Amino acid sequence: MIYFGTNPIAWANDDDQSIGAHIPTEQILTEAGRVIGFDGIENGHRWPDDPKQLKELLASYGLRFISGWYSTELLTRSVEAEIAAVQKHLAKLHENNCRVCIVCECSNTVHSNPTLAVNNRPRLSASEMTAFGAKVEAFAEYLSRQGIILAYHHHMGTVVESPSDIDGFMAATGPHTHLLFDSGHCAFGGGDPVAVLSRHIGRVAHFHAKNIRRSVTEQVRRENLSFIQGVMAGAFTVPGDPEGAIDFLPLMRVLAAAHYEGWLVIEAEQDPVKRNPLTYQTMGLKALKSAAQEAKLIS
């Protein structure tokens, strides 16, 4: 079964909470659930922390809680400490019948710092990646015993950004570690989304349908801009945007050939003042459903 979801960062950003601060929470939920018609929505800083309150709030707008970002710090703390730290988030996933835990290593990331160029992201040596992968796999094995799949989010400004990072990370981890494939971060990170997805499709547990404006991502690299500066300049957009560089039909065909089941999430943060979230998320869902149908991922 395929479900279509969104992320509240299209309306109200999590990395810089001043972006979209003028948009009421009720508007986000009304537009996502009742107007556009998404099946679910990921986590955001506006939602209640209490798992039951979260479930009830989203349900009142016709939405399910998909999952949400969890920042690991496995480069600086033990697996046991990470297991202790994840318990509150894990309770939220269980209460809301979530299938995956979206994980990204953030102990040394630069993506949330508006003063640091995304080009200056941290990098791991081959031996460091091997050691990091072993800790992620141990953490993933714990989550699997709790009925949750770890879906690792490769992301700009982090230790797993480029295609070679993704390949190295997947080689350094085992069967309990799965991948959140993000088309936009893959392309921004220098990868061919179809090629990277095809290589790792057997371990993809979650999919972010994010588009990029190539001229802006190239500007970010060329001018040493921060991740947040790139977002505000329009680095990301949705499927179906004529300004977008990614063709989603080949990606949907890869998913269909692998009999992928789960969520397709339009996670595309933009400046909501310049690019109306209702307009862009509506555009994105229409285009993504059309590509999924043409690829025979959905009927």
pLDDT in tens, 73-96: 999 999 999 999 999 999 999 999
User: Which is nearest to 98 in space by CA: 70, 74, 134?
Assistant: 70
- The token duo for 91 is 């309770």
Q: Is the Cβ–Cβ distance between 244 and 211 less than 8 Å?
A: yes
Q: Tokens standing for 67?
A: 């999952």
For residue 244, tell me if it sits in a domain.
Answer: yes
Report angle CA 69, 118, 114 to the nearest 5 degrees.
Answer: 75
Q: How many CA atoms lie within 13 A of 73 on its CB side?
A: 10
As given in the structure block, the two tokens for residue 86 are 């994840």
pLDDT score of 46: 97
- Report pLDDT for 275: 97
What is the extent of the structural domain holding 47?
2-294
Q: Is residue 299 part of a domain?
A: no
Q: How far apart are CA 210 and CA 296, in angstroms?
A: 20
Please name the residues in contact with 264: beta carbons below 8 A apart, sequence gap of 6 or more: 2, 3, 4, 5, 207, 209, 288, 292
Q: What is the pLDDT of residues 213-227, one digit of tens each?
A: 999 999 999 999 999
pLDDT for res 137? 98
Region 164-178: what's the mean pLDDT? 98
Amino acid at 158: T
pLDDT of 260 reads 98
Question: 113 in the Ramachandran plot: left (φ > 0), alpha (ψ -120 to 50) or beta?
Answer: beta
| Total domains present in the chain | 1
pLDDT in tens, 11-68: 999 999 999 999 999 999 999 999 999 999 999 999 999 999 999 999 999 999 999 9
Phi/psi for 152 (5° steps) reads -80, 130
How much is the pLDDT for 154? 98
Q: 269 CB contacts (<8 Å, ≥6 apart)?
A: 7, 9, 10, 13, 19, 231, 236
**Whole-prediction pTM:** 0.98
Structural domain contains residue 13: yes
285 — pLDDT class (breaks 50, 70, 90): very high
Q: Are 265 and 9 in contact (CB under 8 A)?
A: no
Mode of pairing for the β-strands spanning 211-212 and 236-237: antiparallel
By three-state DSSP, how is residue 141 classified? helix
Please, are residues 73 and 106 in contact by the beta-carbon 8 Å criterion? Answer: yes
- Of all residues in the chain, the percent with pLDDT exceeding 90 is 100
| pLDDT for 293 | 98
Q: What is the pLDDT of residue 241?
A: 98
What type of residue sits at position 231?
V
**CATH code assigned at 76:** 3.20.20.150
Nearest to 58 by CA among 29, 34, 36: 29
Is residue 3 very low, low, confident or very high in pLDDT (cuts 50, 70, 90)?
very high
Q: What is the pLDDT of residues 199-217, one digit of tens each?
A: 999 999 999 999 999 999 9
Strands (DSSP E) found in 116-169: 149-153
